[in-house]
Structure 1
Amino acid sequence: MELKQMLLADFFLVLGLRALISLLILLRLIVKLNEIGRSQLKKANNKDFKRINTIKQKKEMQPLKILENINQCDL
């Protein structure tokens, strides 16, 4: 009877350890996916900022182009 209880206790101990290891692996995977998500978000934000800056630059250049066109027409 005592051997049976020891084997049962060992079984649940091993089962618990396997569950703990699985949870740690899952937690590590979640952290890794979170890091990947953050890096992708940073890349997307950088692309948006670059796009916004190019749009601003184009808008700033438009009056200069109009002036250049007027000057060329005068010649």
Structure 2
Amino acid sequence: DDKKELAGFAQKIAREMTRINYVGWLDEKQLLDDAQDYLIRETGAEIILHPEPDYDPQNKARNALPYKPALYIE
């Protein structure tokens, strides 16, 4: 089962990397940190950022890809 999941992930990464123009290294956590005040203002919601999947009730972290972080909205 792990091999099948790993193969699927590798295929997704390959597809995504061919679509993304290389823009250099981005610190996705820092980008979200910088946008946090804006997101709070626009949504009126509390925003909690977790750099690692320490809280992931819907197992979204496994779907995260470069330039596409996993987001969980509750």
| TM-score category (smaller protein) | under 0.3
Point out the structure with max Rg over C-alpha: 1
TM-score w.r.t. the length of structure 2 is: 0.28
Judging by fraction of residues, say which structure has more helix.
Answer: 1
What is the TM-score of this pair, normalised by structure 1? 0.27
